[in-house]
Amino acid sequence: REVSSAYAELAVTHRHLERESCIDPLTGALNRMAFERGYGMEAARASYGTVAVLDLDDLKTVNDKYGHQAGDRALQHFAESVRSVLLPSDKLFRWGGDEFLSLLPYAKAAEIRARLAAFLPSIGPLSLDDGASVSVAASFGVADYRDGNDLTSAIETADGRMYAAKRERKRFTAA
């Protein structure tokens, strides 16, 4: 009986550790490992939808000017803001340093593009402890997927569109 109890406790601990390994500790978003394992992606794989790739603009400038703690807070602020407008079936992943991926089952790219274009500029600035205010902005790209087999291609398309939007923003602000 003791061995059975120990195995049951070990199984619970293993499930807890596996879940924790799929969550980015800084932002609370799912991480890339979660994506690779398919964690929380049942709705996305079983249906059509949209992927959105979002990349914070000028995070390096925030880190250089205010320190990495301010950059971390900007990442947290951004992730919380994005999560606040997601549906329960939508998933947010921290894809890389300052890049996020959102899977939006049953959504269409045109609708999500319009929603993000309206939402992202409305993210309020981050107030730092020293009274400074840091604006949090992001570039994004979206693409539709037909089913779970089409996700990789849609992510690549959305990523390319995000980089094109970032280049356009930089060209526009430099002019």
CA distances from 87 to 8, 81, 90, 134, 170 (A): 34, 13, 5, 27, 31
Give CA–CA dist 89/44, Å, rounded. Answer: 8
Return the active site residues. Answer: 98
Contact 23, 34 (CB under 8 A): yes
First to last CA, the chain: 74
Q: Within 13 A of 96's CA, how many CA atoms are on the CB side?
A: 7
Pair type for strands 99-105 and 49-56 = antiparallel
